[in-house]
Structure 1
Amino acid sequence: MMSKPSKEFINPTGLIAPGPALYSHVAKVVSGTIVYISGQVPSDASGKIIGEGDFEAQVEQVFANLKIAVEAAGGAMADIVKLNYFLSPEVDPADVPKLRPIRDRYLNVAAPPASTFVAVSRLMRPGWLIEIEAVAAIDG
């Protein structure tokens, strides 16, 4: 007997199509443990900003930090069901697409998490260009 998947990613008709592997409108958790991950920023364990002024380097550090966080909870990046992106006004909108190839190396692009992407007036620390928080659903 096949077990029921613990997560379903759904893009219902009647909502704008998110495009291939961009995000899912709905992430339904059927079973497992829910883990909330605080907004991760482009700093290393010592608090040093990584990639000051370099959007791609900061995105890389943020996803590396998300990976550390979800693995500390016993999960994997594929367990992330929701991402919330917060973008600093210092980021040129033309640079935003550079985020996707980095993100795609970390996430399951066949079943991308539900996502929200907002531009904010500022992030807490000067020099941070992006912050990302996550929710994961870990099987077991």
Structure 2
Amino acid sequence: MTLECINPNDLPIPEMYTQVVVATGSKLVFVSGQQPEDIHGKLVGHGDFAVQARLAFGNLGRALAAAGARPEQVCKITIYIVDYKRDEHVPIIEEAQIELFGDHKPANVVVGIAVMSPGYLIEVDAIAVIDHTAVG
């Protein structure tokens, strides 16, 4: 699997993501939105965005692993945030994202939404590309 990360010269270079990711491989992995829930489907961190962000990204990592994908094979993520406030939420998202992805910067989009299930503040989904031989 190969990901070519491109930041075109005529676009700003973002800190936490890549403007364009070109993926080549033999298998696509689509991960549904991961929420800040424990193994029993119970919300964790009611009202605490940082706790919820860490768990949502952690659950994303577990979902990827179940498909035989690694975080560095993710080409795109979408982050949904209730009542998005850039100055408040971005540093917390960055910390949770670095915890899962390290230096890898998949393309991403942050979507501010009005409501989710009561108490839920964040959800993250992903698309990864892996080689067929990488699936175990």
| TM-score of the aligned structures, taking structure 2 as reference length | 0.89
Structure 1 residue aligned with 2:4: 8
Counterpart of 1:57 in structure 2 is 51
1:74 is aligned to: 68
In the alignment, which residue of structure 2 is the partner of 1:120? 113
Question: Which letter maps to 1:131?
Answer: E
Q: Which ranges of 4 or more aligned residues in structure 1 deviate by more than 6 Å?
A: none
RMSD: 1.5
- Residue 81 (structure 2) aligns with: 87
Identity rate, percent? 32
- Counting only pairs closer than 5 Å after superposition, residues 124-135 of structure 1 correspond to structure 2 as 125-135=117-127
Cα offsets for 1:3-49 (capped at 9, x unmatched): xx611111111122213xx1001111122311010111111121110
Q: Distance in 2 between matches of 1:93 and 1:80?
A: 23
Cα distance in structure 2, aligned partners of 1:31 and 1:139: 5
* Runs of 5+ unmatched residues, structure 1: none
1:106 is aligned to 2:100:
yes
CA distance in 2, matches of 1:59, 1:48: 15
More helix by share: 2
Which amino acid is 2:107 matched to?
A
| Offset at residue 68 of structure 1 (A) | 0.9
Deviation at 1:92, TM superposition (A): 5.1
Gap runs ≥5 in structure 2: none
